[in-house]
Amino acid sequence: MQRALSRLFSETFDVLIVGGGATGCFTARDASLRGASAHANAFRPALD
């Protein structure tokens, strides 16, 4: 997770999608097909 966070802060993305469900994945795919760099961020807390 630390590597993903460092990439998020060190790179520039055209589109940031918050949520990795079906809609978020489709939006990231659509953005990349249109030539934009996209990052989908999904937060799922661990269950203790």
pLDDT of res. 35:
95
Ranges of the chain whose pLDDT falls below 50? 48
The three-state secondary structure class of 40 is: strand
The dihedrals phi and psi of 38, each to the nearest 5 degrees, come to -125, 150
pLDDT of res. 31:
94
pLDDT of res. 1:
62
Q: Which residues on adjacent β-strands are paired with residue 15?
A: 38
